[in-house]
Chain A
């Protein structure tokens, strides 16, 4: 079976700065992969290269078996993306925005899909409101609606629950999990929310300075670091791996 995402020796340099340093990984179809790392670890840069929004300095990216460097327009109709760093046109209503993106993605019956997605994401009461007039949490839900408008096979999410209150964030996680179960889609998400990663992801890549620092299922990583949860694992990575091992030694003594 063709992997959903294949990254080989991916590198991005900005002058002397190496943002992504010969990164390689494979994501099988139907997996939910978490991309973890501190600010500047290279997560957004990696996602941008996976989407074809950023040209790598070297290396290869394939999505659904399609080379993103030379044929990305074959893969893009089957992908979608959401990020708090990109907005939807503020003056357009939510309905107009979703209609526009539905048409761009070639959704066969945009009206029908819009009704489905507004029901699923419970955004019916926002449809006639300008996107710019929504609260941060509402904007995140609408951005997610846009990301699901074409029922993507590969969904890339950059901090999907940023700005959401715990209740809504939990609701979004359930929704993503359900979407993945129903469609078998592959989801790659970059997040700073460790409980989100534990709950959603089958597999996690921890990035530091543009490289893979660790990789494994959340449970494996927690066990490997001798910690209680992913938050502690993340802190170990951020502050130096040795600290986690040192703590273990202290307990043993």
Chain B
């Protein structure tokens, strides 16, 4: 028997109900990216008068920031959607219903996508309003970047959610901070070539490196690196499949250890 769209839809609806009762949850998705965007926007304005690199491509730092936030929001929104069930001690009800773990994962992935869009679209419009910079100038590749970063963010979020399901809320910190380990090797604000050689090898195993290098190539050379895009998409798809698998492995381990009923710290 395959996954049911009806049950996945029910999981999405459950979170839509939650957003309707608590707008602060959506505001949270806008607040931090907006603060970051304003800070980096002013820094970019300042640097553009000082360095030829930034002057050449005004949006390189702001685009980096906005795309990094796409990854972060994708990851955090998924983890939070899962944590909502832990916080409300609802997992026991969910997993004795006909909802399959894979449907649960697909549902929170969809919720994460909605939440990221609800957060990032207003922030991108703010960047345009404040600094006259439009991330949409990246054109069609922006859609690919967005999708790749979301997929990779979900893969990390699924793994972290699985770990929290298995270990309890004492592992919640990983949901918030785990993704940031990727920041130094993703080349968000500097080229991968700036890293030590051994770290570059690690960076090129992660889809984010291709996305941010690809973004810089568009902004500084007006060249779209479709090869980077293809590699990044393949890697993101691979990591997402691994993320689903890890979530299921932790679910099965939780079933053996009996942690689905005993949630907490």
Taking the nearest CB of chain B, how far is it from the CB of A64, in angstroms? Answer: 14
Q: Measuring CB to CB, which residues of chain A are less than 8 angstroms from any residue of chain B?
A: 12, 14, 44-45, 48, 51-55, 73-74, 76-77, 79-81, 83, 85-93, 96, 99-101, 103-106, 130, 132, 146
Give the distance in Å from the alpha carbon of A130 to the alpha carbon of B13 in the complex. Answer: 16
B100 contacts the other chain (CB 8 A): yes
Give the distance in Å from the alpha carbon of A93 to the alpha carbon of B95 in the complex. Answer: 21
Q: Measuring CB to CB, which residues of chain B are less than 8 angstroms from any residue of chain A?
A: 1, 4, 6-7, 9-10, 13-14, 17-18, 21-22, 84-85, 88-100, 252, 255-258, 260-261
Return chain A residues, CB-CB under 8 Å to B14. 89, 92, 96, 100
Query: Nearest chain-B residue to A79 (Cβ)?
Result: B96
Among A88, A103, A146, the residue within 8 A (CB) of B7 is: A103
Give the distance in Å from the alpha carbon of A14 to the alpha carbon of B7 in the complex. Answer: 33
Taking the nearest CB of chain A, how far is it from the CB of B206, in angstroms? Answer: 34
Return chain B residues, CB-CB under 8 Å to A92. 14, 17-18, 21
Using A73-B1, A73-B100 as known contacts, say yes or no to A89 and B18 having CB atoms under 8 A apart: yes
A86–B89 CB distance below 8 A: yes
A88–B88 CB distance below 8 A: yes
**Majority secondary structure of chain A interface residues (helix, strand, loop or mixed):** mixed
Give the distance in Å from the alpha carbon of A146 to the alpha carbon of B94 in the complex. Answer: 11
B261–A86 CB distance below 8 A: yes
A81-B92, A86-B261 known; 8 new pairs, CB 8 Å cut-off, are: A48-B261, A53-B255, A54-B260, A73-B98, A77-B98, A81-B96, A104-B97, A130-B21
Give the distance in Å from the alpha carbon of A93 to the alpha carbon of B1 in the complex. Answer: 32
Give the distance in Å from the alpha carbon of A14 to the alpha carbon of B260 in the complex. Answer: 15
B256–A106 CB distance below 8 A: no
Return chain B residues, CB-CB under 8 Å to A44. 261
Using A91-B18, A130-B21 as known contacts, say yes or no to A100 and B98 having CB atoms under 8 A apart: no
Return chain B residues, CB-CB under 8 Å to A100. 10, 13-14, 17
A89–B92 CB distance below 8 A: no
Among B10, B88, B96, B99, the residue within 8 A (CB) of A53 is: B96
B97–A76 CB distance below 8 A: yes
